[in-house]
Structures are given as structure tokens and as C-alpha cells.
Amino acid sequence: MKLEDAKLKYIHTWGSLATNWGINKTMAQVHALLLVSTKPLSADDIMETLKISRGNVNMNVRALIDWGIVNKEFVVGERKEFFVAGKDIWELFKQVTKERKKREIEPVLKVLEDLKNDVEDNSEEAEDFKKMMGDLSSVTTTVNGILDKAIKADEHWLLSNFTKMIKK
Amino acid sequence: MKLEDAKLKYIHTWGSLATNWGINKTMAQVHALLLVSTKPLSADDIMETLKISRGNVNMNVRALIDWGIVNKEFVVGERKEFFVAGKDIWELFKQVTKERKKREIEPVLKVLEDLKNDVEDNSEEAEDFKKMMGDLSSVTTTVNGILDKAIKADEHWLLSNFTKMIKK
DNA sequence: TTTTATTTTCAGAAATTATTGAAAGTTTAA
DNA sequence: TTAAACTTTCAATAATTTCTGAAAATAAAA
């Protein structure tokens, strides 16, 4: 396969995979495009390659910037804005994990904590419910903690420590 | 707050959280309902509590069974089917992780591997692309491996090993 | 058998989410 | 200043996903 075809295939495959896990197709494609691009791209470049509207490009690029995985970049002699995606995949993983933690895990913990505290009742059934909320909280907290370590870790550090750990 | 209200609040909150991370609202609600229920529920029970149609209950209950987190259960003297959700949250976490690995991570690895192999070109740019696919693969594989360990682990084992590990 | 209870399916309707495109807003250059 | 280049916004529309409800299929009881 020719390089350009492989790049396009990657971009489109990434987009359809993304929809399987609740991520907007276009957003995934824009990121994939920037990831395999050798130079910063303008909104026009993205519009043309992905055949999408200016508004759509703008929205999704801003969302990616908001996730901290795409940056604006100035190009000498050009007035318009250009965009780049960081090429370090471990950094990308850490950034996405950090955001998902903030957006998806932490709100869950808050809700569970509140629910546990709000039940006045002291029946056995109420105690069971509180235990259930507590268990959900506790597993979520454990996962959250693990992800925290991963975010702070260096790829090799994490890998080698894991290897050590699992051999015990 | 009264116990029944807290349960309903949990069920509805869980549903709306689920939509934030790409999971069908009703599916999350049905699971939450079964989780906090003290007894097996029939399709009619679920329809009534969540105010949804029979078809919708059927579809989502089957999806939950497919995910391995809800089971059919027979109730003596009753002809219809009843459903229960496992109450062990650590087991639930492991099961969900296992399925997500299979549905979301493994197909990604396949795609990346294929793309890397399909590029004939040997230009520097092509090598960069292959490296990028390789990096994506490698991080995904690492994460996949970590999740594998988590799936096989006992909650306390994992927690204590992590604690040990992060203190290094 | 035949009848009755229950589950499943699936076409159409409803709800939700994503996209367009043009107008409004902003920034830079002349 | 004013004009041109560019970005952002957002109402209307399109696409996608979810849900309903009734009919078909299946299973148990009579």
C-alpha cells in the first residue's frame, strides 16, 4: 500500500473505531490526521482532506485543544492558524487518561458519596444499599489511584515496575 | 432521603453519567436497578419501574447478559423469566474490563499491526509513519497487559501491590 | 392437540447528536 | 481608519441512535 493510502486508511479506521467507544468520529479523524501529518495543518487543509465543513473543523479542533492533545502553531509568513498534535504517544495516553479521570471518574465518586450520606434509614436493606454505594466508591477509588500513578509515571518505569510486580 | 428515593436517584444518575461515556442510558439504568434490587426482577417489573417498553427492556437485558454482568434466574412457581445482577463490584469491574478489552482494545491492535505491515514505501516519511503505528501499538499493548493483570487479580492483591509499587 | 403466557423481533417514530453554511465577530494589514 | 483574511457561532438540517408497540415466534399448560 502507498504511504498516503495507509495514512488515509488509518484516519478513517480510527474514526470508525472511535464511534464504537462513544467518541465523535470527526474528532478522532482530525486528531489522526494531525498525528500522521509531517507539518502543521490549517483549517482549510483539514476541511479538504476530510471533506468536512469549516464549522465542523473549528468545533472539533477546539475540542481537541480542550483535551490538551492538539496545539495551535504559528507558521512564518502565514496569517491563518495551524494545528499540530503531539507525537509522543505515551504523553497522549497520559493526557487522555488525565482528562477522562476528571470528566468521567471523579463525578461518579461525588455522586456515590452523596447517595451514601443522604440515606437516613437504618433498616438492613438501607445498610445493604449503603454498602453497595461504598463498594462502587471503593473500586472506583482504586482505579482512580492506579490511573493517577500511570499519569505520573514514565512509560518505561511503569512497564518495568509492572513486570516486576506481576512476577511476584 | 428515603431509601427508595435514593435508589431511584442512583438509577437515574447512573443513566445520565453513562451517556457521558458513550453507554446507552437505559442499559445503565437497567443494570443499576438490578444492582440495588433485593430480589430478581421480571421484564414487567423493569418496564414499570423505569417506564420503558417491553421491547426496550428485552434488548437491554440481553445486552447486559451478553456483557456477562446480568443473569437469568428462575423463581419457583413463576413462569416468566427473572433477572439479577451480580453484587460483587470488583467482579463487575473485572468483567466490564475484560469485555472492553476484547471489544475496544484488541481490534485496535489488529488495525495498527496491519497498517504497519502494509506500507511498502521506504522513504523517511514512511518510516516515521511506521514508527507512529508501532508506538500506538506499543502503548496499547502495555495498557492491555496491565488490564490483563487486573482482570486476573484479586482486589486486595492488586491494591496492596500497587501501594508497594508506588512507594518505591 | 389447542390455548394461554411469555419472549423476541423489527419497521416506523421519537429523541439525540453531528454537521452544514452563512452571518457575525475578530484580527491583521494597508 | 477601512478592507481583507480569517475564526467563531448557531439556527436549520441531516444523520444516527434509541425506543415503541404490535405482530410473530416460542414455550408451557390445559
pLDDT tens digits along B73-112? 999 999 999 999 999 999 999 999 999 999 989 999 999 9
Answer whether A120's CB lies under 8 Å from B71's CB: no
**Parallel/antiparallel/unpaired status of strands B41-42 and B70-73:** unpaired
Q: Which residues touch strand C (CB under 7 A)?
A: A 24-26, 51-56, 59-60, 79; B 19, 42-44, 54-55, 58-59, 61-62, 78-81
Longest dimension (CA), chain B: 73
Take residue B164 and report the three cell numbers written for it. 508497594
Rounded CA separation A64/A66 (Å): 5
Total domains present in chain A: 2
Q: Which nucleotides of D are covered by protein (CB under 7 A)?
A: 5-11, 16-23, 28-29
At A79-94, the pLDDT tens digits run 999 999 999 999 999 9
What pLDDT, on the 0 to 100 scale, is given for residue A168? 45
Question: Which among B85, B119, B135 is the end of a domain?
Answer: B85
Amino acid present at B39: K
Residues B100 and B139 in one domain: yes
Task: Label residue A146 by pLDDT band (50, 70, 90).
Answer: confident
Residues A8 and A78 in one domain: yes
Sheet-wide strand order for A82-85: A41-42, A82-85, A70-73
What pLDDT, on the 0 to 100 scale, is given for residue B110? 92
In A2-123, alpha helices (H) = 3-20, 25-36, 43-50, 54-66, 89-100, 106-118
Residues B29 and B77 in one domain: yes
Take residue A162 and report the three cell numbers written for it. 509492572
Residues B139 and B102 in one domain: yes
What pLDDT, on the 0 to 100 scale, is given for residue B154? 80
Residues B115 and B140 in one domain: yes
Residues A144 and A156 in one domain: yes
At B110-134, the pLDDT tens digits run 999 999 999 998 999 999 999 999 9
Chain A CB contacts of B115 under 8 Å are 6, 9-10, 13
Average pLDDT in chain A: 92
Question: Which among A85, A100, A131 is the end of a domain?
Answer: A85
- Residue B119 to chain A, least CA–CA distance (Å): 5
Domain that holds residue B48: 3-85
Residues B103 and B116 in one domain: yes
Residues B120 and B140 in one domain: yes
Distance of B51 CA from C15 C1′ (whole Å):
16
What pLDDT, on the 0 to 100 scale, is given for residue B166? 54
Residues A51 and A108 in one domain: no
Residue A33 sits in a domain whose CATH number is 1.10.10.10
B65 contacts chain A (CB < 8 A): no
Residues A30 and A68 in one domain: yes
Answer whether B10's CB lies under 8 Å from A114's CB: no
Question: Which among A53, A85, A117 is the end of a domain?
Answer: A85
Residues A81 and A103 in one domain: no
Residues A103 and A153 in one domain: yes
The SS3 of residue B92 is helix
